[in-house]
Amino acid sequence: MKDRVNLGIECGGTRTTAIAAAGSNRRLLKRLECGAANLRLVNDVQLEAHFAGIRDVMPLPSALGIGMAGVRTAEDRERILRIAGRVWSGVPAVVDHDLVTALEAAAMDGSDSVDVRVVVLSGTGSCCFGRNRAGTTAKMGGWGHLLGDCGSGYDIAHSALRRLIHRLDRTGSGGRFGPLVLRQLLLNDFEPLVGWIQGAGKRDVAALAPLVFQAAAEGDRDMKDVVEQSLGGLFDLAVGTAGRLVAKAGSGRDGAEIEFVLAGSVFARQPRWRPFIARCLKAAGSRARVRVLERESAWGAVALAEKATAAAVDVRVPEVGTVLRPEATAVSPTELRNPRSMELDRMPLKAAVELMLSEEAAVAPAVATHSRELAALVRRAADALGSGGRLFYVGAGTSGRLGVLDASECPPTFRSAPEQVQGIMAGGEKALHSAVEGAEDDAAAGMSAIAAREVGPKDVVVGIAASGRTPFVWGALGEARKRGAATALVSFQPHLKFARGSRPDHVLAVDVGPEVLTGSTRLKSGTATKLILNTLTTLAFVRLGKVAGNLMVDLNPSNVKLRDRAVRIVVELTGATREEAAETLERERWAVKTALQALGWRMVK
């Protein structure tokens, strides 16, 4: 019987390594190194060409394992599987991120009895990634060289260069490290270091890390301090990762058997520092032990391939919770063709304008049918804002942009704190003006956005999704509900069936009918969204005393137009002259309500 061939591919930011191994004894058939492939930096065409290049020189696999940098979500895994399926048709595959392949490689040579295993990776960058016996994973670090990557080659070298310059200023001596840097960079003195560091890339700087270790070994005390401080920060994260996994397993730290596996070029080349490393990592518990990853982590991709079978293709869902999206029981009206605009491309311009305006005029009556639910949401939002809570809008595309717009208008209109009403946009700031591919399909990112803002029971989270089913929005709503926040859905799909326990506290599923341009929910759906959000924040702040009659008595007069409006409001409510109003506002630093009170006005409750 012919041996099964498992092909493991690890795609990283520096290079891709592919290993073909045969049989249960993992006999090496062929190894290949080729260019880098981070999922965030390649499009589908480039990735398919990358995989095809590997296919053309490697044996035909029975199963495929792929670990790739940049993989974060189930949608990312599905994207890779689709592309791999076109290149290796019919071959079962398992896809995950490259930290999983490192962990799988560590497990190949490790004991099956450990309660927690943590890979501590230090190369050009750094991070810690572990798994407990129950299969729960945790990650710390990996924030990149500008924000984190403590204990990485870059961090060590950059810290050493800063220490070198400080020492030069203080003593005029470069110690043991200085001459090594000059020789490596072919510099005659230290002055050109300024220009070099400005043009140096991350890997250029990290390449100096071995010199730091060398200088420390030769007695340079400053460099020894740099190494210990930098690695110490990384080991703090490693101990924290282990502690998190032990806690999730429900066992005590001292009773847990914890294995730290050191991976990456920094650890591989510096054996003399292992006693220091062991001392740092002992903080994880009395049964903690340390070893170096002996095999390259691409073997972990082979281990992933071994888990694939012809009957089951494994697309791992991130361990951040289950997203229960509602079921659409019928096609959304916004996706149907509008019979009035069937000849839109041939319609006279005046008739087309009248058509669009008449369609838009139908929006307010449609929203009005949900006035009772909208009033309940206003009441909920006002209570939250009045008791120290916050109002969040969450959306993608037009829905997200309208949420951000309404949130940004609250501080100037009502002098509210910027954090009181916030917009959360799928894809972040870039998506406000450009499409971000896949952002709306990333449920895990929606969860993370809510978790990062530490949403809690005092807050209200409003998901805005024309289709009613946007994964980013439902990830956010699910996380908000788990944290005890009130939730609401604004949608234009009236045919939604919610899973048990997943229905938001408030649902406005407005039927605005088919769009003039089929499926373009920036039209009537967008108008309805703006109308609902306008009503929500305006009336919530009215209930909070930001309005007298129909005047904005708490606006923020940040420009000439608004200052003129503030003067007119003060005149209207107090009977003061314009001069008196302006002088009082100036004295009260243009706080309108304070100026009104200084002139004897009291708000009628």
Choosing from 409, 437, 454, 572, the catalytic residue is: 409
In this prediction, residue 19 has a pLDDT band, given cuts at 50, 70 and 90, of very high
Higher-pLDDT residue of 74 and 361 is: 361
Over residues 380-394, mean pLDDT? 97
Over residues 310-319, mean pLDDT? 39
**CA-to-CA dists, residue 49 to 34, 90, 200, angstroms:** 12, 18, 30
Mean pLDDT value across the chain? 90
Q: What is the pLDDT of residue 584?
A: 92
pTM, rounded to two decimals? 0.68
Instruction: State the Cα–Cα distance between residues 401 and 447, nearest whole angstrom.
Output: 19
Q: Which amino acid is at 248?
A: K
Protein fold of 110-293: Nucleotidyltransferase; domain 5 (3.30.420)
Protein fold of 327-543: Rossmann fold (3.40.50)
Look at residue 554 and tell me whether its pLDDT is greater than 90: no
- Answer yes or no: are the C-beta atoms of 50 and 42 closer than 8 Å: yes
Higher-pLDDT residue of 591 and 460 is: 460
Quick one: CA dihedral 305, 306, 310, 312, positive or negative? negative
Over residues 129-146, mean pLDDT? 89
Look at residue 268 and tell me whether its pLDDT is greater than 90: no
Instruction: State the Cα–Cα distance between residues 270 and 582, nearest whole angstrom.
Output: 71
Look at residue 372 and tell me whether its pLDDT is greater than 80: yes
Lowest mean pLDDT among 93-107, 129-143, 255-269: 255-269
Over residues 234-263, mean pLDDT? 85
Over residues 488-503, mean pLDDT? 94
Q: What is the pLDDT of residue 314?
A: 41
Instruction: State the Cα–Cα distance between residues 37 and 106, nearest whole angstrom.
Output: 22
Element at 303 (helix H, strand E):
helix 298-307
Instruction: Please give the structure tokens belonging to residue 188.
Output: 């005659």
Quick one: CA dihedral 439, 441, 445, 451, positive or negative? positive
- Answer yes or no: are the C-beta atoms of 101 and 256 closer than 8 Å: no
Look at residue 127 and tell me whether its pLDDT is greater than 60: yes
Choosing from 440, 454, 579, 586, the catalytic residue is: 440
191 is catalytic: no
CATH of 5-106+299-315, one of 3.20.110.20, 1.10.10.10, 3.20.20.450, 3.30.420.40: 3.30.420.40
Q: Residue 129: phi, psi to the nearest 5?
A: -145, 130
| Whether domain 547-598 has CATH 1.10.8.1080 | yes
Lowest mean pLDDT among 298-312, 403-417, 424-438: 298-312
How many residues in the chain?
605
Q: If we measure between CA atoms, which residue out of 329, 216, 195, 198 comes closest to residue 266? A: 216
Instruction: Please give the structure tokens belonging to residue 113.
Output: 């009895």
Over residues 352-362, mean pLDDT? 96
How far does the chain reach from its first CA to its final CA, in angstroms? 87
Over residues 129-155, mean pLDDT? 90
Instruction: Please give the structure tokens belonging to residue 580.
Output: 């008196």
Q: How far is CA 530 from the centre of its chain?
A: 26
In this prediction, residue 184 has a pLDDT band, given cuts at 50, 70 and 90, of very high
Look at residue 233 and tell me whether its pLDDT is greater than 60: yes
Q: Which amino acid is at 128?
A: C
Q: What is the pLDDT of residue 319?
A: 38
The residues near 524 (Cβ < 8 Å, ≥ 6 apart) are: 334, 359, 360, 362, 363, 492, 512, 513, 515, 516
Element at 289 (helix H, strand E):
strand 288-292
257 is catalytic: no
- Answer yes or no: are the C-beta atoms of 460 and 389 closer than 8 Å: yes
- Using N-to-C axis directions, what is the helix angle for 153-171 and 221-249, rounded to 10°? 150
In this prediction, residue 252 has a pLDDT band, given cuts at 50, 70 and 90, of low
Q: What is the pLDDT of residue 49?
A: 94
The residues near 349 (Cβ < 8 Å, ≥ 6 apart) are: none
Higher-pLDDT residue of 530 and 38 is: 530
Q: Where are the domains of the chain?
A: 5-106+299-315, 110-293, 327-543, 547-598
Domains 110-293 and 327-543 share a fold: no
Pairing of strands 93-97, 63-68: parallel
Look at residue 317 and tell me whether its pLDDT is greater than 80: no
